[in-house]
Structure 1
């Protein structure tokens, strides 16, 4: 009777908490918008898959913890005004939201990443008093699972949240994450661990190449600025054929110059049946369109290069702040995992 009363009280606590959150509709509105049809379908498939293999309790706990974790990223993205794709749940892989735009700098990226495991921590905190009150093993399991999921995500290796957080301190810390992730993947025989490791190595190599080529890219951007100045100076006397030849001779020397090739089509249209005077007017218009498009593209390339060059540059105060909150969260999750694991019932 006493045990039943405790369980009833526990669910009453959950109900009160739910009503409190519903009362904060302004706060949870972004999360409600997060529940797109793609999210609901993938969540249902994910839930059913894990229910078949591990039971409904495990499946519900896992989906709940992952959803709250991803909601943290969503709230951060809304705060930074970054558009996102709906969350997608993939069985035996996890859940994620896609970013339609890159954060402006490593500090914003760290904030975006940090909010995931922070919300993940908040997700399982209510399970602590619930376990103390009911002694129900399920709540201990929620604490352990929540701790492990979010602690794993704090490994300092991209694409994990930890890698994106420490990128604002130093990308050299990814080497530590690489060792930790490799050790975990071998020790646990984890397919996901090896998959994340490979993805991290690829991303690390891409970013190193990007940073290494900054000076070269900056010089190329400068060259294009000089070309634009020269073209502007001779625009009045240059012929349509001259600009057409120039446009066709452009080569993509920067990865960011893909859009630049689109300006070529401005000068490649067929004139069709026109009088000489109409052709001349059209060609003059094309010249101005090309110069205007080229000017915008040169500015875009210049901005991209400078943003890339400064992306991972943060001041000492930011580095110290990121280090403190990262270590603090890792310690809390680690302690939670260590203290809660013995509370689980022994395997039969």
Structure 2
């Protein structure tokens, strides 16, 4: 028999695993599971947690995960985004994947908000049930539900909180990174460390968008210049001089890094120009048609993807101030509700474990 002290320790470990596990899906390739396979994975998940941490904990966790991921699925469906079924992985969490990425940060925020919002709704029926029955299962649902969903609201990408606030300035992601560092200090975990690394990477990428946009625009100019050369029958190559590859300090050496990026693209263009020149003297080649085909190839394969990247960087995070305030206020209300309810219900875990 497992004594109360051991049971308490195991359940606390289980809560930490569940907290991190809800987002460990970011470590894995997106899974496409059939509905029947999804159901089998849920049963396996239930049995693994049942034998490891107890059946109350297992049923409560599965119920909360179904509601949380179901919130994402409903929100994605409302926005017309196709998704895969939820797939349960023991000691990891529930995994769903979007088959189509959101078109803007507002849509991303809406889909992310659906998870913890329905997570809060799923906890509410347990409050009167626990009040009238004093059944420890309902107490565990309340406390664990608040902890899991509140954890997911930490404003660090890739957690739900970070995606909800993605439409706001990236300073909120920095705050989230600091919060996760505090969590890591009190609950050391490789997975928490990994989430922090992902958060820092995403934060840096976000604040470096201006530089990325500059690189894309310069590349587009290069290819547009190449098209003009082809139209006038000019096939001169760029200099093949070698530029030493090294680490460039962000912001301080952006111009040097940009020079290297453009040089790499020029080498690609040189290869294209040489391949074109090699065919121009073929006797049976209509070089005008051939050049037109190459120009269309440059437009579709080189310029078009760059234009899409440029449009994404310029418009993805653009939103009205009214919409930003609505998202921020909704986030604060949801987080505050979960925090207050969690503060009241946390003692229920101790009550459950003490029995």
How high is the TM-score relative to the length of structure 1? Answer: 0.73
Residue 149 of structure 2 is matched in structure 1 by 150
Mean Cα deviation higher: 313-322 or 84-93? 84-93
In 1: Cα distance, 2:144 partner to 2:150 partner: 10
Change in Cα spacing, 1:192 to 1:310, as seen in structure 2 (3 Å) is same
Residue 11 of structure 1 is matched in structure 2 by none
Task: Find out whether 1:318 has 2:317 as its counterpart.
Answer: no
In 1: Cα distance, 2:75 partner to 2:222 partner: 38
Q: Structure 2 residue aligned with 1:295, among 299, 308, 324?
A: 299
SS in structure 2 of the partner of residue 280 of structure 1: coil
Q: Structure 1 residue aligned with 2:309, among 304, 309, 324?
A: 304
- Does structure 1 conserve the Cα–Cα contact (< 8 Å) formed by 2:143 and 2:348? no
Residue 71 of structure 2 is matched in structure 1 by 72
- Does structure 2 conserve the Cα–Cα contact (< 8 Å) formed by 1:211 and 1:309? no
In 2: Cα distance, 1:293 partner to 1:38 partner: 43
Report the CA distance between 1:229 and its aligned residue.
4.4
Task: Find out whether 1:39 has 2:44 as its counterpart.
Answer: no
Q: Over aligned residues, Cα RMSD in angstroms?
A: 3.4
Report the CA distance between 1:139 and its aligned residue.
0.5
SS in structure 2 of the partner of residue 157 of structure 1: coil
Change in Cα spacing, 1:331 to 1:39, as seen in structure 2 (3 Å) is same
Gaps of 5+ in 2: 1-31, 239-259
SS in structure 2 of the partner of residue 189 of structure 1: coil
Aligned length: 294
Post-superposition Cα deviations, 1:50-75, rounded to whole Å, max 9, x if no partner, equal 11211222112211211221121122
In 2: Cα distance, 1:211 partner to 1:65 partner: 40
Report the CA distance between 1:111 and its aligned residue.
0.9
Post-superposition Cα deviations, 1:267-292, rounded to whole Å, max 9, x if no partner, equal 79xx9xxxx87x426x7665443322
Matches for 1:337-348 after TM superposition, within 5 Å = 337-344=342-349, 345=351, 347-348=353-354
SS in structure 2 of the partner of residue 313 of structure 1: coil
Post-superposition Cα deviations, 1:2-60, rounded to whole Å, max 9, x if no partner, equal xxxxxxxxxxxxxxxxxxxxxxxxxxxxxxx9962443343233222211211222112
SS in structure 2 of the partner of residue 89 of structure 1: strand
Residue 172 of structure 1 is matched in structure 2 by 171
- Does structure 1 conserve the Cα–Cα contact (< 8 Å) formed by 2:83 and 2:98? yes
In 1: Cα distance, 2:152 partner to 2:70 partner: 15
Report the CA distance between 1:131 and its aligned residue.
1.5
In 2: Cα distance, 1:104 partner to 1:76 partner: 14
Higher helix share: 1
Matches for 1:223-262 after TM superposition, within 5 Å = 223-231=222-230, 233-234=231-232, 253=261
- Does structure 2 conserve the Cα–Cα contact (< 8 Å) formed by 1:68 and 1:120? yes
- Does structure 1 conserve the Cα–Cα contact (< 8 Å) formed by 2:136 and 2:352? no
Change in Cα spacing, 1:286 to 1:78, as seen in structure 2 (3 Å) is farther
- Does structure 2 conserve the Cα–Cα contact (< 8 Å) formed by 1:42 and 1:89? yes
- Does structure 1 conserve the Cα–Cα contact (< 8 Å) formed by 2:33 and 2:87? no
How high is the TM-score relative to the length of structure 2? Answer: 0.71
Change in Cα spacing, 1:199 to 1:59, as seen in structure 2 (3 Å) is same
In 2: Cα distance, 1:253 partner to 1:213 partner: 10
Post-superposition Cα deviations, 1:175-233, rounded to whole Å, max 9, x if no partner, equal 111111111121123443223222212222333334432223223223323433443x3
> What stretches of structure 1 move > 6 A for 4+ residues in a row?
none
